[in-house]
Amino acid sequence: MIELVEFIAKSIVDSPSEVEIKEVEKGKTTKLVLSVADDDMGKVIGKRGRIAKAIRTVVNAAAAKEGKKVVVDIK
């Protein structure tokens, strides 16, 4: 899942070298914390959170296919 989020985020932002993802596991749920440069934050979130919601939807679909639950937080 980290690779998927990293690929999507690096495709969107202007500074792909500053994309960082941390993984925290709590029981059956995996939490991915996405950090990007301050200038790129708006691009990752999008208008009214549409891009962020789309990223979460894609990751949840991929996680469901593997029988897992993944939460994506943008920091």
- The tens place of each residue's pLDDT in the chain, 75 residues long, gives 899 999 999 999 999 999 999 999 988 899 999 999 999 999 999 999 999 999 999 999 999 998 899 999 998
Q: Which domains does the chain have, with CATH numbers?
A: 2-74 (3.30.300.20)
Spell out the residues 6+ positions from residue 19 whose beta carbon is closer than 8 angstroms to its own.
6, 9, 10, 13, 34, 35, 36
The predicted structure's pLDDT at residue 60:
94
pLDDT value of residue 1: 87
